[in-house]
Every structure is written in structure tokens, then in C-alpha cells.
Structure 1
């Protein structure tokens, strides 16, 4: 069970802390844990009687008998002051009465709580009041009297026990087939981290009744349950992904690096001595697959993808922005293992911060930076940036990210792959594909015509060709695709100076996402596909390819 909580609680009880506050939705788990500590001689030396209170039952004595006339919180606290035996008294949902924050409470309840704090601190018998609530709400008057005790979400071991219990209870009947080996069960239990035991049990039950089979495909069902938790936080977005790393054209260096880190959060990797990977920072030319790669990694690894919109962190109340980033981090860690995607990170953490914000941007940045350095939970951070020069240098040093990758405009081989992928995706309907044969000759011609185009621009060229064909109610033809290319002015032309500056920065500071063998041979760009004319020994990469080349 929650051993760190038991140890912390036992120390606070022995030290005679009068009022403790436990924030948790799992009040049954909290009650069970507090009861276990209060009755354990090894933890508190002298066993203590356990009382509970709720607005519906009133004050319930250790033998389970309700005490009449104590459903009103102020009356219950009056009764508590008259208890003269070593005891622990758990009050559930008292926050509705004592208020806190911007919620006014009953002055009488607040006053009585202060009386309880004074009496319990100096009284002849050891007593403690434990407030259990799903939200942290402490009135200003009680801030010095109340001690917050962290109650963690269920551990992987606890969730695994629930899973094993459900498997044992349902597999014997023969109605449920279990398609999980030891690693599969570990993956499913890890996928449920961040859920309460009740939520995890619900997710496993839903997975079982979905198709009568419990296997790795049911991780998606668990992720659906996690979506609810993430959505309620309001700071992170649970992103649906329908792409895989195989759907990303080119970027073989980056894809190999990522593939080697798959499953690195499992126990097998820990036994091998490997730490969980921290993440990557991907910079480069806009429209060349940075965001697509973030989505593909989560799908390929079978992990939930959380998108962190830094703009949601900042709000008008003093101090709330710092609390928001801490809440977002806590939500991500509760959902781990997961992929945390920070898109266009330079816009939220630009060097110098925002002017006139009284240092809020700097404090938020410092909190996020410290977490990047010190995090121990398996949260793989993928940050993308179009203008990396605006990022503070402390974010770029080793220890924040495992590696910095540079994504340049696609090479001729990558353009052929991207063309083939986008054309195939939109040619599933027979009426579209009837008059077009996609072969090496077509891809070679299109790749030659589209030198300097990004992957996003190639996709738009295919879409433009489809619009031309649809406007005449006819199948797609080769000339539609060519027309889509030649009538588009690529970003490499309109933003030539900016792209040159990005490449100059990345030339010796980042790893090229494109593998060395995929570089265009000198003098052949636009005329030959690398798969049919490989790079010859001694060929150097063309100067437009940014980022140092490292073979993984």
C-alpha cells in the first residue's frame, strides 16, 4: 500500500500535529490507510480510536454507532472537543463548511477548527483531526494550523493487484479470454497509472466486456479512461493519434533513434540499468514533419499523447500561472508513462520572457526547466520549435533533453516517399485512381519538380490536384499533380533568409533528422531518386542539409 503516506502520517501523529489535510478523491483508500496507521503499534506506539464524520451520517464512534445530533459540522466539532481518549477523527468533505480560497465558509466552523487545533496541540491525550476532501481548500485563518499530507495515486503494484484479481475472477468462467503475457500485463497496468483504483477497475472491466478478450489492444480503452482525467485538468489536451512512425516520410535518423527507445520505461529496461529517456527537442523548417513525428511516436509506443498548450498556463490572477504549470506537470506525471508534446515551445518560453508581467514568465519557465532536469517519472517530452534561436540557452544544454534534432526540407528520396504516401492516402476511391498509375517514373518526375518544397506543401499540392479533378468531375491525372506543384510558391522561396538562418544555427548544434545515406548526391538533386541511385563513397552532403550527421 501507500507506504510513504503511512510513514509520513505516523510521524505527524507522534509529533502531535493537530489538524491534517488529505486531498484525494479516494476517500475509502484514505480511511483505510489512516485506520491502519492509527491501529498499528509499530507506527504510533499507542493505538488510537478511529472516529469518522460526514454530513449524512454525523459523527460515527469507533464501534460504528452514530452519535445523535452531530450531522451539523459545528455540533460535531463541539463533540470532538469532549473526546478524552487517544483518537484520530476523520472528517469527510468539511471543505463545504469551512470554505477557503474565494469560497466563504461558516465563521462558527472556522472558529471551532481553531479551537480544536489549540486543544489537540496541548491537551493531555493524543488526538488528531484529519480532513479528507477531493479539493484543497484552506481558509486563511487556518493556514498555520493545518498540515497538508500528500496521498499518492495507486502505484503500479496496487493496480496490478486489481488487474490480476479481475483476471482470476473472470477467466475461470471461460467467457473472457486473456491474451496477455507477463510483459503485456505490465504494459496494461502501467497504462492505468494516473487513475484511481475505481477508475482502473472500470477501465479493465470495460476492456473485458468490449469483445470478450483482454489483450494489448485494450490499452486504448484504458487511455480513454485517462482522457477523462486529463480533460478535467483543463491544462493538457489528450490528443487522438492515427499515424505511426511508418507514416512519416523520411527522417530515418530520428526514427531509428526513437525506435531504439521504445519500451524503455518497462521493468526490463530498469533491470538493464537504463533510465527512462527524457525527450527530444525537434527544430527545423516549418511544415517538415515535426508535429507529425510527435503524434507518431505516441502511437508507435502505445502511449497516451498529451499536448501542453503553454498559453493556457498564463492567467490574470497573481501566482495562478505558477500553480497552473505545476498542476499540468502533476497531471502528466500521474498519466505516465506518456508522451508530453510541447508545440512551438519558443512562443511560450522565448528568451527574456514577456515584458511587464512582473517576472511571471520567468518563474513559469524556471518551474518547467527544473522539472525537465529533475523529473523521475517516465514522461517523454517532445518539444518542437521553428525558431530555436529565441529559446534561452539553459533549455538547450544537455540534461534537459536527450538530443536536439534538426528537420530540414525533404531530400529527393524523402520527397518520393512523401508523394507516394499522400497520393496513396487519397486514392482509395476507384473514381479518383482510375487514370493514374503511381510508379517510380511518376514519383521521380514529381520529386524533381518539387525541390525545395516541405512535406506540408507536397500534401497541399496533392489536395490542389484533387480539387482540379473534382471541379471537372473526372479522375485524378498526372498533370493535376504537376499543376498543383508549379502553381505554388514554397516557403523556401518566400522565407529564404529565415530558413538559411535556421540552417546556419543547426549546422553544428543539432543532429540531422535525415540519415546520411538519404542525402541527395551532388549534382543529381531533382533528377534521380536515391533508392535507384545511391550515394557514392566520397560524396558529401549538399550544403543545404543542416545539422550534424550521427548514425544511431
Structure 2
């Protein structure tokens, strides 16, 4: 099955794909307040246009259902008011022949009941995903939905069928019939109302102390943006019972709830801070660029008229520190680091792939400000726009690019790529990334830094400069990863004989290593030729290692 559900950005009455993202994942408070207005207006348009099947994606079933009822009863949003009826696995509105022993038969009976409707109505069907799982599809239900579709569009009185669930999973036969829209996360005002109600309910209780001024309260509200109302309430409740008080120190507890969101998602991985930028050898120009942008998402930066950076694309020779930089930036900027595995985005069911990229984006923005690391991005988007692409990859890629172009929350994207030729050209366009950096083989000074770092890491002391210099002289053309490996191999040599490490152990490992710069010299030269006019060197140009012929350096 393929991922071809109608999307909001495909609807004729929307201005552009940006409308979709501004609704679904925009981060500033003013946009978040208007997201619900956008949703209500769009849903009203779709209902008036008699879209046969509308799928509202939301984890907050109750809140979404209340909004649907509000739209259905609002004459300003929809000319003809409609009654709202619901169906779920355990409950259904309306009088019809219920079939309690078979949910599928019961839903089919409910669809027949819809055809008997004589008043303007909205039928909200929950739990639809139950019938379309990885292992089975209820084909009678597919046929029932296809049969009722013409009636919904042509009924004398307006009728709408809305599916409501957290996932959009439909078989191929229904892919052209279902239009999917995301229900927006709670606004700042809604989060504040939850906090106020909990403060009011608990401040009179014995043992619960409320120690918040206006600024502290605002920080707690801001920290909860991106959570559902239930998640925000849980976080505030945990803060209160943990030490019997609610104070500004409890912001970390709310942020921990956001980290739990990541753990519950199989799309993103939370990477703990474990490396400092000064532990990455060389790359002076890249480090300088990153250092100048530290804190650029703060209020102080706004006063300078600055906007938060979008991200960087790091390409170049494998094993030269691209992934290390991604890990180190989060430590430098003191921001959480999330890793996105693009391969996990793609699923076999309709709606899965695009729902996954939206979910990953929403999760990242819920954690913002943060760093989002996409390692070897070319592997995830390889084949986009090719003849072998079924369409899912292109739509996921398009969703990602549009978000990169228009995102407003501070999610700094670091994408790494070893083979830039496999990336679609749209990825390189200005406005996606702030800069494209080329990471080359380490020069003499950078090798010295790298060798010192790895020896100090293992010996816990400084090494004689002459030893470092000898290793540097013997490793011209080695990548950072290869330098680490020969040092590790030398230590294993000594460990096998249970003696101290000597220089000859490492020199032996060096002589036994054929570096990538020799085995792939032509490929490295091609990468350099590509980057010469298209990327900024991560290392100062005058210090780069130059390959003149395979196996030869100057």
C-alpha cells in the first residue's frame, strides 16, 4: 500500500502548502493562537464542500470532538447547522440495529443508518484504524464506505463523515476518497487555563505550596507548549506532588515530559550530551560559524533583529567529524539533541509515511529550542523523483523541504551526507539550510589536535610533543576516524601483552592501514571539485590536504 491520501496542501481552496504547516507545526504564540481558527475555518469549508470523508488526526479525542461540534453548530463557519452523531467500538449515537458481537458489522449497520438520515448531520467515526491493520483489512467495510460515498455528496440534506483518530491508516482502495487534516495542539491560553485551574484547586490544600510570580508562571506555560492538555496536566501534577510545591524550578519536570514524548516515538532518538566542541579536532571555520550563532534564538538576539538559524548541511570525506560536530553543537548551545532516522518514516500503509514526518516535526517543535540531527540524509531521500519512487518518498521529501523553508520555531537542523550526488538538487537551494559546509581530510595541525585528544582520552595525561609529532608525520591523508582507529589498535597491541603502550605499537598500526584517501582518491577529488563552488570549507583553505595522485599528498 502506498501513501497517497489527500493532503491539506492539495486542496483547491488553500493558498499554498505553507497554510498546512502554519496550522500544524508553527511555533510562535500568535501563530499557535490562530492555528485553531485556521482549523475551524478549513473544516467548515470542507464540510460545506461535502468532502465525502474527512480524517481529523489528533491524540486529543475529546478536545477534537468538541471543536467539530463547535464548527457544526456555528452558522458563521458553516451555513447549514448540523447535528453531530458519534460511533466508536463501545458506543454509538442514533437508533439502528446494533451488532455487539462484531464491530465491523456494527459499523456497517451504522453506515446504513447514515443513509436514512433526513436532517443535516455530521457523523464522527472513531476507532476506524482498528479495521485496517498491518495484518488484515475488513474488505466489507471498504466496500461499505465506497458505496456510501456518492450518497454523502448528493444527499438532499448535507451530510459529512469525519474519521477521528491519532493515525491515518487506510487501504489503497480509499486513498482518493480521504482528506486528512491535523488537529492543532493547545494554544498558550489553553495551557495557561489548565495551569490556573490546577493552581486554584491545589493552593488551598494542606502541604501544597504555590511559589510562582508572573514570570515563573509564564516559563511554566512556555515549557508546556507542544504538549497535549493531558500531558501538560500530568507534568504540572507531578511537579506539585514531587516536593509539595510548584515553583520555577519545576520547568525541568515539564521538559522531562517532552523527553518522554520522544521515548514514546519510534521516529526520533534523544541523544544525551557527551562531547564538547573542543573535543572535535580541527574544522576551525565551522566551529567559528557555530560559535557566533550560540544564543541566536534568545530574546537578546531578537533585539538585534536576528532570527534563529535554520540549519547546516555537512558533507565531505567519510570519517572526518561530521557526526561528532552534530553531537557537539547541542553541548555548545546547551540544547537537547534529537536524531531522526529518515528510513523509519516510510510505512506500507496509506497515510503512514506522511503522518510520520508530520509527527516527527511536531515532536521536534514540541521540544524546541533543540538540535535535530539527520545522519546520512542522502540514504533516506535517495531515489526521490526517480522512476522507482512510488510517490511516498517525494511527498515526505516535499513536506520536509517546505518545513525547512518556513519553520519559525528554533529547531536547528544538522544534516550530514557522505555522497552529495544522491541528494535531490532542491535540498541545496538557498533558504533550506543557512550554509553547506565541506568537511575535508584533516590537515597537519588538525591531525595534531586529533591525536592529542585520543591519546589524552586513554592515558589521562598529556603526551610528549615529539610522540604526537611522529604520529602526525606518519598519518598524512588519514581521516579523523582512521587516526582514532590506529591509536586504538596500538593500545590493543600493548593490552594483548599486558604492558605499557609505546610509540612503535601505534606506528605498526599506521603501517598496516591503507587510508580512505588512497583507496578512494578519485572519489575524494570529485567531492572537492563539487564543493569548490558550492560549499564553504569547514577548515581554512590554506591548510587543506591536497591529493595530487592516488596515494600521494602535498
Query: TM-score higher than 0.5 here?
Result: yes
CA deviations over 1:202-261 (Å, ceiling 9, x no partner): 456567777888456557624532323430x5xx55555522333322223212322333
Kindly state the Cα deviation for residue 326 of structure 1 after the two structures are TM-superposed.
Answer: 3.3
Could you say what secondary structure the match of 1:132 adopts?
A: strand
2:66 is aligned to 32
> How many residues of Structure 1 are paired with residues of Structure 2 in the alignment?
495
Distance 2:395 2:180 in 1: 24
Could you say what secondary structure the match of 1:360 adopts?
A: coil
Tell me if the contact between 1:59 and 1:70 (Cα under 8 Å) persists in the aligned partners: no
What is the aligned-residue RMSD (CA, Å)?
4.6
Tell me if the contact between 1:239 and 1:305 (Cα under 8 Å) persists in the aligned partners: yes
Distance 2:329 2:139 in 1: 51
Question: Which structure has the higher relative contact order (CA within 8 Å, separation 6+)?
Answer: 2
Distance 2:228 2:298 in 1: 21
2:85 is aligned to 51
1:521 is aligned to none
- Larger Rg: 1 or 2? 1
Tell me if the contact between 2:191 and 2:221 (Cα under 8 Å) persists in the aligned partners: no
Shift in CA distance, 222/120, structure 1 to aligned 2, threshold 3 Å: same
Could you say what secondary structure the match of 2:125 adopts?
A: strand
The equivalent position to 2:401 in structure 1, one of 364, 372, 376, is 372
Distance 2:473 2:538 in 1: 21
The equivalent position to 1:514 in structure 2, one of 529, 539, 543, is 539
Q: Structure 2 matches for 1:125-136, cutoff 5 A?
A: 126-136=158-168
Distance 2:48 2:384 in 1: 48
Could you say what secondary structure the match of 2:265 adopts?
A: helix
Tell me if the contact between 2:338 and 2:371 (Cα under 8 Å) persists in the aligned partners: yes
2:440 is aligned to 408
2:360 pairs with 1:332: yes
Distance 1:344 1:138 in 2: 31
1:535 is aligned to none
2:478 pairs with 1:472: no
2:389 pairs with 1:360: yes
1:344 is aligned to 376
Q: Structure 2 matches for 1:68-79, cutoff 5 A?
A: 72-79=106-113
1:293 is aligned to 325
Kindly state the Cα deviation for residue 280 of structure 1 after the two structures are TM-superposed.
Answer: 1.8
Stretch moving more, 503-512 or 440-449: 440-449
Shift in CA distance, 512/143, structure 1 to aligned 2, threshold 3 Å: closer
Tell me if the contact between 1:305 and 1:340 (Cα under 8 Å) persists in the aligned partners: yes
Kindly state the Cα deviation for residue 385 of structure 1 after the two structures are TM-superposed.
Answer: 2.7
Distance 1:220 1:12 in 2: 36
Shift in CA distance, 421/328, structure 1 to aligned 2, threshold 3 Å: farther
2:214 pairs with 1:189: no
Tell me if the contact between 1:288 and 1:408 (Cα under 8 Å) persists in the aligned partners: yes
1:308 is aligned to 341
2:265 pairs with 1:230: yes
1:531 is aligned to none
Kindly state the Cα deviation for residue 405 of structure 1 after the two structures are TM-superposed.
Answer: 1.0
Shift in CA distance, 503/273, structure 1 to aligned 2, threshold 3 Å: same
Distance 1:271 1:284 in 2: 36
1:460 is aligned to 485
Could you list the runs of 5+ residues in structure 2 that have no partner in the other structure? 1-32, 101-105, 549-554
Could you say what secondary structure the match of 2:453 adopts?
A: helix
Tell me if the contact between 1:295 and 1:305 (Cα under 8 Å) persists in the aligned partners: no
CA deviations over 1:141-170 (Å, ceiling 9, x no partner): 767776544423445665566567667777
1:22 is aligned to 56
2:311 pairs with 1:279: yes
1:544 is aligned to 546
1:248 is aligned to 280
Distance 1:149 1:495 in 2: 48
CA deviations over 1:119-139 (Å, ceiling 9, x no partner): 684335x55443323333456
Shift in CA distance, 372/94, structure 1 to aligned 2, threshold 3 Å: closer
Kindly state the Cα deviation for residue 290 of structure 1 after the two structures are TM-superposed.
Answer: 0.7
Shift in CA distance, 19/545, structure 1 to aligned 2, threshold 3 Å: same
Kindly state the Cα deviation for residue 33 of structure 1 after the two structures are TM-superposed.
Answer: 0.9
Tell me if the contact between 1:354 and 1:361 (Cα under 8 Å) persists in the aligned partners: no
Kindly state the Cα deviation for residue 278 of structure 1 after the two structures are TM-superposed.
Answer: 3.2
2:43 is aligned to 9
Kindly state the Cα deviation for residue 38 of structure 1 after the two structures are TM-superposed.
Answer: 3.0
